[in-house]
Structure 1
Amino acid sequence: MTNKKFISVLAIPLLFTTIYTATPASAETTPTPSTTTNSEELAKDQKAVNKALKIVLEKTNQQIKSGKENIKVSQYVPEINQNVSMEFVTKDISTNTQTNTLQKNTISYAVAKPSGRKAYYGKMNAWGFTHVLRGDFVYGGGKVISATKEVQNTGLTYTHSSTSSIAKLDPSVWQIQSKSVHKWLGKVGSVTGLGYTSYVSVEVYGSGTSAVRNASFTTGA
């Protein structure tokens, strides 16, 4: 999907991105099965990472509430000697048309003179991989009219697969959810199934605002 304008906490906070200034996860020392064989140690590290991501998420949404549209937040995790971060960006998209048509990966219907259109971008930098949820939404009359979504992943030592969906919680609140599976390359991943599953979700509102609702991951692919 072609990106028009962006806020880069995922988002959404997510951009939501939920947004964070940090060393990119892909540039960090990626954990390997040989260094994470102790399940108790791995569980402890993951708990520390998710705790840091919750802090990042809270800070991202605080900045969103204050009116910022280009957010980047990072948090150092001493247990893994790395930063985790979230970027979230939103931007107005100008439109000269009065009608929006159905697009790929889009829930949409025709509307006359929408009040506005915004792009969102949420990126989570986690543990050797990134998870991006991006798209745009149209709003008007206090309602969400349409929304698009796209998921992107990076991390050189993994294979990646993703799914996404849009849930209409009510006419003014739509939640865009995404899930990515990051499995170790080669025999390690195919035989053991080792890897991670990450989640990023963003909510968009009929007021033209948005927020990152989830940025987390679990072990196992």
Structure 2
Amino acid sequence: MTYGSADSAPGSAGPSDGPSTAVIDLLGLLAYAELVAFFRLSDNAELAPTLVAKGELAGLAAAEYTHYKRVRDRLAELGADPEEVMAPFTEPLDAWHDRTKPQTWLESLVKAYVGDGIAGDFYREVAESADEETRALAQSVLSESGRGDFIASQVREAVERDPSLAGRLSLWARRLVGEALSQAQIVATTRVELAALLVSGAGEAEPESESGSGDLAAVSRMFAKLTDAHNARLEAMGLNG
């Protein structure tokens, strides 16, 4: 199924062909990411050591499923087959999760906060160049409200009780980020329209140049912003960068 026009700007709709391929790709990626987040948080809830923690994580999982349904429904509104547009992203996202399987409940919490967090930051940056409705939907479903506070407090309290955990969990967090950025590069190279959406947004305030140095500088600043957000999450959990 083809969307948009080859001559359309990334994120814009073609004159008669509906939403661009980049927007459909972004929504397909978001839908699958939210669905997987639901499954993973549900598993984490089973492993939680207290009933209160089980209940909190179950609620977070339910929120992720609601987010998935919202994105899925938006795809259907745009005339896309949700399963079809999610399909290209199942392999890279599943591969990332396979390579970053947590060994403990605390590692699973760090992954849910740090790994999903930097991925969400990246998706939000891509969505900045999409149409207003897509951008608003992405901002809404990627909100960390509630989840971040709960997870950060759980990890922080565990580290306060046992400071020896901090080093291991910090290393784990760095590995998660490295793997997430590597996987984002793979997705970008295989879904060129999605990559163009990112570049168009990152470089929109930069002057044009033959070397493309303006775009590169803007993308570098975007990754610096992602790193700052990552460091803030580490600090919230009581971990070192």
Q: Specify if TM > 0.5.
A: no
Give the structure with the larger helix fraction. Answer: 2
The structure whose Rg is larger is: 2
Give the structure with the larger strand fraction. Answer: 1
